[in-house]
Every structure is written in structure tokens, then in C-alpha cells.
Amino acid sequence: MGLSEIAAGLELTTEQVDRGVATVDDTDVDRDARLREYESDLPCTAAAAGTVLDRYESGASVGEAGEAAALAPVTAAKLLHRCGFDGVTPLAPTARQVLRDWLDGRLSRADALELTGADDAEFALAAYVETHDPIPELAETVRRDAAAPLAEDALVSKRDALAETMSTASDLR
């Protein structure tokens, strides 16, 4: 089969539709306004929360970020958890299960403390993390500010956002 046989039936057109440049822009979310909106659900003021988030996102430790906002490290960790940051719980998965048993009333606090090996501050922080879910609207805002994907997969997010501009195999017939 030659090239001319392969190209048989193909047509060229001189007309092209200018569709412009497709963009996805999530920068219009005002993090400070969102923090003020959910301030009553946070363990600190919105202003302190903004400082902690700025410092933490620029690479400071939880303690350093809290110190910059005049907050205890445990309060900064609580804030980060409420804003959707993972990994602020001081307990390993097995110890978290022991904590859940205590929260459900199946263990005494003394037994749970002994089994987890945590000190009082670690235990209190872990209990806060277990009993307070992240605030989805704040987590979304923080992810957008950090230029992280809007969903679990950046490729899927972009595909969904630009779905109208994409063609499918059925469009090629």
C-alpha cells in the first residue's frame, strides 16, 4: 500500500476555526476572605491562620509557622489539619486505632495513653485530628494557593475543566 492509497479520500480545507486559548484559572479565590468566613471553626484567628499558612507553605516547620503567628505548635498543627494538610497527627496508624477505641469508650484514657506511647500533648492533638474533619472549602483554597491539583489527579482536573474544547474519537468520523 502506497502513500497515495493511504491518503485517498482525505480532503484539505482552507478554513480554520479560531477558538482562542483555553485556560483554567483558579486564582480568583481569596484565601484570607475564606479564612475569615470559617474563622469560628478554626483554633485561632483568621489573621494568625494566614500567617501560619504563609510560613508553612514557604517551608517553615509547624512550630516555626506557629511561632510566627504567636501560636503554640499544637494550635498551628490543628489549623493545618483543618486546612487539609495531611500528616499532622503524631500517632502511627495502630496508635490511632487505639485512640479511636478510647474515643468510642472501649478503653480508659490511661490505657490508651500507655498503649499509644504518646505524651499528653501528642494524645490531645491526635484526639483533635480524629474528632475534627478538615474543612473542604479551606482545603480547596489552600491547594489552589499552593498551585497543587484541584483534584487527586491534575491531568483529570484539566481534562474536566477543558472538556468543551476537546474532541473525541466519534468527532473524527
| Residue 53: alpha-carbon gap to chain centroid | 12
91 is written with which cell numbers?
500517632
| pLDDT score, position 109 | 95
Q: How confident is the model at residue 54 (pLDDT cuts 50, 70, 90)?
A: very high
| pLDDT score, position 151 | 44
Mean pLDDT (the chain) is 82
Give just the sign of the alpha carbon dihedral 60, 63, 66, 70.
Answer: negative
Distance of alpha carbon 128 from alpha carbon 140, whole angstroms: 21
| pLDDT score, position 120 | 93
Read off the pLDDT of each residue in 125-133 and give the average, rounded to a whole number.
95
7 is written with which cell numbers?
491518503
Distance of alpha carbon 153 from alpha carbon 160, whole angstroms: 11
User: What pTM does this model have?
Assistant: 0.66
DSSP string, 129-147: HHHS---HHHHHHHHHHTT
65 is written with which cell numbers?
509557622
Distance of alpha carbon 79 from alpha carbon 125, whole angstroms: 11
Question: Residue 171: how many CB atoms within 10 A of its CB?
Answer: 7
Domain locations in the chain as residue ranges: 31-84+134-150, 90-132
Q: Say if residue 145's pLDDT is above 50.
A: no
Q: Say if residue 24's pLDDT is above 60.
A: no
| pLDDT score, position 86 | 87
Q: Say if residue 22's pLDDT is above 70.
A: no
Locus of grid cell 482545603: 139
Q: How confident is the model over 62-104, as pLDDT tens digits? A: 999 999 999 999 999 999 999 999 888 899 999 999 999 999 9
Q: How confident is the model at residue 142 (pLDDT cuts 50, 70, 90)?
A: confident
